[in-house]
Structures are given as structure tokens and as C-alpha cells.
Amino acid sequence: MLKVAYHPIYVHPLPEGHRFPMVKYELLYKQLLYQGVFTTDNFFEPEKVDEDHVLLAHSADYWKRLKAMELSYQEIRRIGFPLTEQLIERELRIVEGTILSSLSALNEGVSFNIAGGTHHSGSNWGEGFCLLNDQAIAAAYLLDKKHSEKILIIDLDVHQGNGTAEIFQNNCQVFTFSMHCQNNFPFKKEVSDLDVGLPDKTGDDKYLELLDFHLKSLFSREQPDFVFYLSGVDILASDKLGKLSVSEEGCQQRDSLVFQYCKEYKVPVQVSMGGGYSPQLRAIVDAHCNTFKQALRVF
Ligand SMILES: [Zn+2]
């Protein structure tokens, strides 16, 4: 059975003045049930990840100071919201959700985390609402447990996966691919194994053509045995942070392309949701929901 990680703490309310729309996670969960995409049996609530697994991708110093809430003012500013113990617990559960869903994908072909995609967090920093990097930790975990020997990370959030790129910069078992808006956060980019920086206003045709071209060459050349897919929907034209011009239909086609390559090459795929900041929550939730539907259609 297909598994989806979700925990009520994903919707943890942020303090006044930091109204980052975490409510989308609950709406997505409810919409997947309401539309009959999944039943409650498909969902599981992750516990907090084991600290040893965090340390597979993050430095002991950063983790120790994060856990003790001893990050500096500058480090907390870089994260973008005030740190609380609940936010740290939330992140630890999200990371565990991604690890467990990657294990589930080994059997089922595909599995999901309703949150995650915290790709701005590097080995020794948090950034852009990301405290720990869920897919990087899960990738390092799969390698450590010998479940995988060659991982491809496909990061299609509109923002570069700078933390993921840095964590695996010297690891030849993980190929990091980020296709993002070049003129967008983070302005100091790290070097992925493949970066495709798109100009502002890139629309469906160009976006899908480039994606197809790169996926084709990556799957045949890198021969991954596992894929992590970061399916951020902040590429939508309606997104207030994204700067690209991809339609809802184009966003679905993007998801479908990724899943088709995974299926064709028989590579299991774990999906984390990533960003989405349209002023209309409906647009965000529909686009995330479509990612699940495309996966079910292909697999
Ligand atoms: Zn993003």
C-alpha cells in the first residue's frame, strides 16, 4: 500500500508576524481524503528521527547547538522564524517521515511526505524556513544502510537546493540536480552536480522541454537506483515568490515526466512537497494534490 507521512504538528502555528502558510499541509491532507485519492490507511504519523541519522548529513556542532537552541541571532535570522522546541520537534518528525517513506518506496515504487523538501539547510546551517534537510538525511541513510548505491536528487522547487548541493558536494554516490529560477533566493548559490538556472518568466514549453532533455540524459548516464523528488509548486505563474510562469497544467506535466522516467527505469522515488506561495491557497493545494494524482496514474 502506498504510504504518506503526515503528522498534525506539520501545521504547527508560527508566532504572529511569521504567518508562513503551514496551513497548506492540513488542507492537502484533507483534500487527498476528500477527493478519495487516499484513505486514512495510507497515512502514517512519523516519530522523531534518531539523532544518529541527523548526523549522517549535518555537522555535530550544528545539531548540538540547534537542539540546545543555542544558535546565534544571525543563524536564527537566516532560518527566518523564531526557534521553538516545537518547531524542532516538527522538523525531526518530518525528517523521519521522509526516511520511512523512502523505505516504503523501495517496496511500493513511490512514497510521499506531505511536508519536507527542506533543501536550504546545509551541513552546518539552517536557512529559508529549513532547519534540517530531510531528503539529504534520508539519502545518506539509504546509502549508510546499503539500500542504495547511487541516488539522484531531482529538485524542481523554484529555489535552488543549495543545502543539498553543499551536503553532497564531495559524494559521488549522490547526484544533485536542481532546476530553479536563477534570479531568485538563495542569491549565493552552491554548486550542484547539475544546476539549470532558468530566466524569469520561463513558461510551460521551455520548462518542460529542458526538463525532459536533462532527465533523459541523467537517467541513462547516472543509472540511479533511487530518486528523491522535491516537487515544490512555487514554479507556478501565480506564485508570489517564484518569478516563473508555469501553468497548473504545466506543473502536472512536470510531475508526470519525473514519474514516467522513474517508472521506465524502474527506480523507486520518494517525494517531498517543498514550496508553494500562491496568494490563493487553493492553487497551492490543488497543485500539490496533482503531484499525488500523477504518481498514482503512472505507478
Ligand atoms: Zn521554494
Cell of 22: 503551514
* Percent of the chain with pLDDT strictly greater than 90: 93
What value does the mean pLDDT take over residues 143-166? 98
Say which range, 4-18, 44-58, 102-116, has the weakest mean pLDDT. Answer: 4-18
Q: How far is the CA of 234 from the centre of ligand 1 (A)?
A: 6
What value does the mean pLDDT take over residues 10-19? 77
Q: List pLDDT tens digits, range 63-77.
A: 999 999 999 999 999
Residue 29: is its pLDDT beyond 70? Answer: yes
Domain that holds residue 247: 4-298
Q: Please compute Rg for the chain using Cα positions.
A: 17
What value does the mean pLDDT take over residues 100-122? 98
Q: How far is the CA of 274 from the centre of ligand 1 (A)?
A: 6
- Judged by DSSP in three states, 97 sits in helix
Neighbours of ion ligand 1 (CB under 5 A): 157, 159, 232, 234, 275
Residue 9: is its pLDDT beyond 90? Answer: yes
Q: How far is the CA of 146 from the centre of ligand 1 (A)?
A: 30
pLDDT bracket for residue 22 (50, 70, 90): confident
What value does the mean pLDDT take over residues 109-124? 98
Q: How far is the CA of 1 from the centre of ligand 1 (A)?
A: 29
What letter would DSSP give residue 199? P
Res 221: pLDDT = 98
Res 279: pLDDT = 87
pLDDT bracket for residue 12 (50, 70, 90): confident
What value does the mean pLDDT take over residues 34-52? 98
Res 16: pLDDT = 72
What value does the mean pLDDT take over residues 176-183? 98
Give all strands (DSSP E) within the chain, no chain letters.
4-5, 43-44, 110-113, 151-155, 174-181, 194-198, 226-230, 269-272
Q: List pLDDT tens digits, range 58-110.
A: 999 999 999 999 999 999 999 998 899 999 999 999 999 999 999 999 999 99
Res 15: pLDDT = 72
Q: How far is the CA of 9 from the centre of ligand 1 (A)?
A: 21
- Please count the residues of the chain: 299
Q: List pLDDT tens digits, range 244-289.
A: 999 999 999 999 999 999 999 999 999 999 999 888 899 999 999 9
| CATH code (residue 151) | 3.40.800.20
Residue 19: is its pLDDT beyond 70? Answer: no
Res 20: pLDDT = 65
Q: Is residue 75 within 8 Å of 59, Cβ to Cβ?
A: no
Q: How far is the CA of 276 from the centre of ligand 1 (A)?
A: 7
What letter would DSSP give residue 52? H
Q: How far is CA 221 from the centre of its chain?
A: 23
Q: How many independent structural domains does the chain possess?
A: 1
Q: List pLDDT tens digits, range 186-206.
A: 989 999 999 999 999 999 999
Q: List pLDDT tens digits, range 202-237.
A: 999 999 999 999 999 999 999 999 999 999 999 999
Q: How far is the CA of 69 from the centre of ligand 1 (A)?
A: 25
Q: How far is CA 183 from the centre of its chain?
A: 20
